[in-house]
Chain A
Amino acid sequence: DSGVTQTPKHLITATGQRVTLRCSPRSGDLSVYWYQQSLDQGLQFLIQYYNGEERAKGNILERFSAQQFPDLHSELNLSSLELGDSALYFCASSVVIGSFSGANVLTFGAGSRLTVL
């Protein structure tokens, strides 16, 4: 158990629908990241929050949105779903220790597998 909790683990829905993925970061981590991983592909950075504020944005579609709440958990909202949105969605939180002071090591959750039919 990495300490990062993602729900649901699996989700099957239809095109045009909207879903919400939830993430609780490791205790004490202030930063949350969302990544999308399509089948046998790399990790596409979507968005990052730090202590409730958006910090960086990647290739996130306008149909997608996210937020980080005062208790630091985060939600990723995916709307008007298309077949191509089927993927693993990972949440990670930031541990600024690593092996050196300053390295931003991410701790990942187990992911939420979204299937759009």
Chain B
Amino acid sequence: GESVGLHLPTLSVQEGDNSIINCAYSNSASDYFIWYKQESGKGPQFIIDIRSNMDKRQGQRVTVLLNKTVKHLSLQIAATQPGDSAVYFCAENTGGFKTIFGAGTRLFVKA
């Protein structure tokens, strides 16, 4: 399940299960939404993005869903693997260059 830890909320899932990471964004005028993955000791890395005029976009084992009505973004990871353990950030692009990151969620995959 999902819980709020001392700092980052944590999602713990069993290997092979699907993971759903949620994010609430603030600016209804944002043009693009991007998910980043940050592994321990590394900088965030791009996973997938979605344009504001889309509801869903699929990548390899990942799907991003966008609900503009409630300003909600989610990242679904199919068949979660130990290598998916990381902190996941959503980010919104506004006005071209400005990028604002969400709070982040730590995904912990149990073997």
- Please give the residue numbers on chain A whose beta carbons come within 8 Å of chain B beta carbons, in ascending order: 2, 4, 31, 33, 35, 39-43, 45, 48, 50, 55-56, 90, 92, 94, 98-100, 102-111
Contacts and interface: CB of A to CB of B under 8 A. Distances in A.
Contacts of A90: 43-44
Contact of A109 (B6, B43, B99, B101): B43
Contacts of B32: 98, 100, 102-104
Contacts of A42: 8, 89, 101-104
Given A100-B49, A111-B42, 7 more contacts: A40-B7, A41-B8, A43-B44, A90-B44, A98-B32, A99-B57, A105-B49
Nearest to B8: A40
7 contacts: A4-B43, A33-B99, A40-B7, A43-B101, A48-B98, A104-B96, A105-B46
B100 interface: yes
B56 interface: no
Interface residues of B, number: 29
Interface string B18-35: 000000000000011010
Nearest to B51: A100
B65 interface: no
A41 B87 CA distance: 10
Q: What does DSSP make chain B's interface, helix, strand, loop or mixed? A: strand
A2 B93 contact: no
Interface in B44-99: 44-46, 48-49, 51, 57, 89, 91, 93, 96-99
Contacts of A39: 7
B46 A106 contact: yes
B90 to A, nearest CB: 11
A49 to B, nearest CB: 10
A2 B97 contact: no
A43 B48 contact: no
A103 B101 contact: no
A108 B101 contact: no
Nearest to A104: B93
